[in-house]
Amino acid sequence: MTEPVLEAVGVSKHFPVGRGRAVRAVEDATVRLYPGRTVALVGESGSGKTTLARILARYYPPTQGEIRLSGGEGHSYRRQVQLVYQDPFASLNPVHRVGYILGRVLRIHGHARGRAEVREQTAELLRRVNLPEEFLEKFPHELSGGQRQRVVIARALAVRPRVLLGDEPVSMLDVSIRLDILNLLARLRDEQGLAILYITHDIAGARYFSDEIHVMYAGQMVEGGPADSITEGARHPYTRLLLASAPDPDRVANGSGPDEELGEPPSLIDPPTGCRFHPRCPAAMDVCRDKVPPRSEHGEGHWTTCWLYAKDDE
């Protein structure tokens, strides 16, 4: 495999909340993004996946660990790493037409000058996201949710990034168009060699769209590896619960999440001792309450952190 374009190595993020306490939103997370590949970060609300994406986008500095962007010298970080948000309704300035929104980005980044060049390139951006040129004249409120998200993606592409960080990019869209947007992202990834981080609570959808899956629980990565290996041979009880609550791959189309089926996630200010999943784990043992589980390897890059798989000498 080639070198990662972007990697987070041993990254933690603590948000102070006073009196020496902190929300431990992300702990010791490592993720690597490669050109032309998608890595899914899966977990319920509050698992730390959005915080990790914002650290990767350099919206937050990490408390510990390192973010490394390789190559692309001479270009700004923002030009190389673009974040696409969940909410296409809040992402576009309502007072400007689509043509202005896209053209502005092209001008700022020096990709187009003069009216004719801007017009040509903005129309080309729309073509890449399967929208007709006439949409350049429309205002965001004239577009459907799916059309807006296409414009948001076109705006991200206008920067000519090497990495797209998608923070639940389809979860607020109508059921009928979620697959269209994921297919669009997959095509852009394949055609342009984009590295994509796909954040979702929907593990079935993650399998459909991703090469690798990393599962986060309560700020920690608990299992990761090739997408097929994770979905067909999940080891961690939390991953298994996620899969059991989303048994149908077509669930990408309805996107219902596991949150309501798994109960309340733990506090990140005062997280459970030992394995953070132990209060909710159907397989919890005494050791799980006292000691942090070590990492176990299961071949082909599949790993987990769970006492069920720890070797005897640990």
**Which residues of the shown chain bind ligand SF4 in the complex (CB under 6 A)?**
236-237, 275, 277-278, 281, 283-285, 288, 293, 306-308
Least separation in angstroms between residue 218's CB and ligand SF4 is 11
Least separation in angstroms between residue 201's CB and ligand SF4 is 19
**CA atoms 297, 210, 82, 142: torsion sign:** negative
Residues recorded for the chain: 314
In the complex with ligand SF4, which residue's Cβ is closer, 157 or 306? 306
In the complex with ligand SF4, which residue's Cβ is closer, 243 or 288? 288
In the complex with ligand SF4, which residue's Cβ is closer, 209 or 307? 307
Least separation in angstroms between residue 282's CB and ligand SF4 is 8
CA distance 60 to 48: 13
**Token pair in block for residue 221:** 């990565």
Least separation in angstroms between residue 30's CB and ligand SF4 is 19
**CA atoms 56, 58, 64, 69: torsion sign:** positive
Residue 280 phi, psi (nearest 5)? -115, 0
In the complex with ligand SF4, which residue's Cβ is closer, 202 or 223? 223
Mention every residue, 6+ apart, whose C-beta is less than 8 A from residue 76.
none
Strands, E, within 19-168: which ranges?
A: 21-33, 38-42, 64-69, 81-84, 163-167
Please check whether residue 105 is in contact with residue 161, taking contact to mean a CB–CB distance below 8 angstroms.
no
Beta strands 212-217 and 38-42 are: parallel
Pick from 95, 94, 152, 85: nearest CA to 125:
152
Least separation in angstroms between residue 244's CB and ligand SF4 is 14
Least separation in angstroms between residue 302's CB and ligand SF4 is 16
Least separation in angstroms between residue 249's CB and ligand SF4 is 25
Burial class (CB in 10 A: 0-12, 13-18, 19+), 288: buried
In the complex with ligand SF4, which residue's Cβ is closer, 161 or 225? 225
CA distance 185 to 164: 9
CA distance 26 to 24: 6
In the complex with ligand SF4, which residue's Cβ is closer, 155 or 280? 280
In the complex with ligand SF4, which residue's Cβ is closer, 150 or 278? 278
Please check whether residue 306 is in contact with residue 296, taking contact to mean a CB–CB distance below 8 angstroms.
yes
Least separation in angstroms between residue 274's CB and ligand SF4 is 7
In the complex with ligand SF4, which residue's Cβ is closer, 31 or 281? 281
